[in-house]
Amino acid sequence: MPSLKDLKNRIESVKNTRKITKAMQMVAAAKLRRAQDAAEASRPYTERFNAVLGSLAASVGGSDSAPLLLRGTGSNQTHLLVVLTAERGLCGGFNANIAKLAKTRAAELVAAGKTVKILTVGKKGRDNLRRDFGDKFIAHVDLAEVKRVGYTDAQAIAKDVLSRFEDGEFDVATIFFSKFVNVVSQIPTAQQIIPASYEAGQENADATLYDYEPSEEAILADLLPRGVATQIFAALLENGASEQGARMSAMDNATRNAGDMIDKLTIEYNRSRQAVITNELIEIISGAEAL
């Protein structure tokens, strides 16, 4: 049974931990506001941009004149998985859920006889995937020194991916990230970015016909690389909001658990203290009766 001093020290230690988790929760709440606003502000632009590209892609179809980013290489043998995670932990299952989705996809592709290559963005994703798929890593992007992720960061990642595609290093590229819903809900998502894939619903809702100049192929050749950067940037923003939401929720749970532990330790401390006092009283009474 721990002594009174041990219990008192443990209570103080848990109180200090609760102060830290509470402070981290408040910091995450402040960062979440900015990250959520950024993610939500990017959605209308991304959706409209994809709608324009979807309309152009539908008009071009699978013709041989279509840009390579749209029609693809004609093969799906080599897959590049771009895994976007955080640089830091203490955010619940945020990083693990993204890595789990990427691991599942990689295992399925390997089982199907496909070649898998992995590019990680964020230290936690790299650490999580290294044990099972470390031999398939081809690059890593470190954003630890970046205070706020911007479009230039997404452009740099997109430029690397596009250059590898032009060099014939892969046939299909998919990004893995977490889509932000609210503080307690973030959805791990896999999105194919090369070759570009657009749903039929992304075409213009009013079915308006446009005449394009220059040709649709020329416009697509210019917009598709920007589309890759836009999708990566939107994914980074969604990840940023999801990370802060997950951290805020995790630190809130940790703070409440610390409070529960303090209450239990306090009860145990009071019981032990009462037992010590009772034993002392018994000794005094026994000594008095002996006289």
Which stretch of DSSP H or E encloses residue 186?
A: strand 185-194
The angle subtended at Cα 120 by Cα 169 and Cα 69, nearest 5°, is: 40
How far is CA 265 from each of CA 50, 59, 170, 241, 283, rounded to the nearest angstrom? 56, 69, 57, 36, 27
DSSP result, 78-94? EEEEEEE--S---STTH
Burial 121-135 (b: 16+ CB within 10 A, else e): bbbbbbebbeeebee
* Separation of alpha carbons 231 and 224, rounded Å: 10
What is the arrangement of strands in the sheet containing 185-194, beginning at the earlier edge strand?
137-141, 115-121, 78-84, 172-182, 185-194
* Separation of alpha carbons 220 and 59, rounded Å: 11
Just list the catalytic residues: 91
* Separation of alpha carbons 202 and 140, rounded Å: 32
Minimal CA–CA distance to 184: which of 239, 100, 242, 255? 242
Q: 178: which strand partners?
A: 188
Burial 75-112 (b: 16+ CB within 10 A, else e): eeebbbbbbbbbbeeebbebbbbbbebbbebbeebeee
Helix (H, G, I), strand (E, B) or coil at 53: helix
